[in-house]
Structure 1
């Protein structure tokens, strides 16, 4: 699948036309209208113009090319872990992280118009959504099948009319595409939340920001014993909290790994600067991706 289902395409065309007329207000997201990324855009930029993009690369490219001022990209979920591919797309994009946002994800099982739960044999959705509902799907005896994104799946089910196929998506998607609401709260746990990062062409000015700040950065360790221990040691000795740490390999070699981390603090803070200096000494390269206000833990996971 390299395009949107017909039910979604006309909404995509309308939204793209509005965004093209005012790119300074456009906010790019991956997925069809009604996706959780669309919900995130509406929450972080209520006056913005949502710009649907088929892939994460397309959403980032929209900002790179000046078609949008901002992109809102999911990076991790409390139930199913990191969002695939984003960990290496962010450092490559050349964009800056300017904020974070958390969305409470409440999945619905959406059928074709007039369908019933007893008829459903297959559920289509984005792999993240399928993973977040895997136990409930197994209990219902429904087979999971990967699809481009949650809202596009709802549009496909609504347009094709096969009662044996349902979609996992938001209630908003079901309303947009005329699906039958078969099950609400399909996710395996109530704490299901997705963290999104906001990305722009220029870094955020934190001059007047007074609360806690996070910094996101990427680095590659040297291929030597205890490389990661040495690289991260400066954060421990300087009392800096790491809130996220993930690794990946690149280039077909199973040697030195690249890491994406979030820390509490600004690069200009003396203790952070010392830790970053030590990190650089023990790494092949370090890339600062942006600093931004930290969402308080009680808001991120109430």
Structure 2
């Protein structure tokens, strides 16, 4: 398929909503940098569905104009997530981190200004494209750095339980009362459903309503998850299914 670059995640989702693209591939979390900002607001409001997930190993290089020495560098430019994945390295060098819209764009900027005091944290491919030298390889703070992406579509493409292991993603709100979240999640525990991700964020100015994003293992047609979702629906004020999709092999490989 042809890849279409977008300036923002919102633009990528809009491309799919407006039928200018078939799918959007959106980063949702990173093993070092944590959650990707704004994604959990964007996904429920997009009107799209998660139909797949992908785990991408990420390796960062420190790039500079040809002839740059490590001691020359005063600033490192990159995307906010990439900078957070290399925070220890940046701190050790004592250089300033400068946020850009994306990693490759920061490499292009460093190549254009030609200043050896300015560096980019990006991929080796970006360095090759823009003619930059690799000043230091693998500057991420820990080996195994991985980003999880979700694949978004206008239409749901739920697999059947017979197709193999599945993941289910949804958002819900709970009533503003004591132990509401505890009761809402109780069904997952009593039915043996594994919750792999749970995050909350405020949805209004009163700070009274919290919305939760949750990923769980299983298919809604399977009895354990069906019972857990029934209990969740009873205790939650709102519940919206974001998608049912095949469980990526990375989850099994990593746990093994």
Instruction: Tell me the TM-score normalized by structure 1.
Output: 0.81
RMSD: 1.5
Cα distance in structure 1, aligned partners of 2:215 and 2:5: 27
Q: How does 1:144-293 map to 2 (within 5 A)?
A: 144-207=97-160, 210-293=163-246
Quote the offset at 1:210 in angstroms.
2.5
Partners of 2:161 and 2:219 within 8 A in 1:
no
Instruction: Tell me the TM-score normalized by structure 2.
Output: 0.95
Partners of 1:102 and 1:300 within 8 A in 2:
no
**Would the alpha carbon gap of residues 110 and 301 (structure 1) be closer, same or farther in structure 2, given more than 3 Å must change?**
farther
Cα distance in structure 1, aligned partners of 2:135 and 2:219: 47
Partners of 2:54 and 2:148 within 8 A in 1:
yes
Tell me the equivalent position of 1:83.
36
Tell me the equivalent position of 1:114.
67
**Would the alpha carbon gap of residues 107 and 301 (structure 1) be closer, same or farther in structure 2, given more than 3 Å must change?**
farther
Quote the offset at 1:112 in angstroms.
2.3
Q: How does 1:58-97 map to 2 (within 5 A)?
A: 58-97=11-50
Quote the offset at 1:206 in angstroms.
1.0
Deviations for 1:180-236, whole angstroms, at most 9, x for unmatched residues? 211110001002110000000111141486221000000011101011101111111
Quote the offset at 1:251 in angstroms.
1.7
Deviations for 1:153-181, whole angstroms, at most 9, x for unmatched residues? 11111111111111111111111111121
Q: Unpaired runs of 5+ in structure 2?
A: none
Deviations for 1:126-149, whole angstroms, at most 9, x for unmatched residues? 111111111111111221111111
Q: How many aligned positions are there? A: 255
Deviations for 1:31-64, whole angstroms, at most 9, x for unmatched residues? xxxxxxxxxxxxxxxxx11100000000000000
Q: Specify the SS of the correspondent of 1:279.
A: helix
Tell me the equivalent position of 1:19.
none
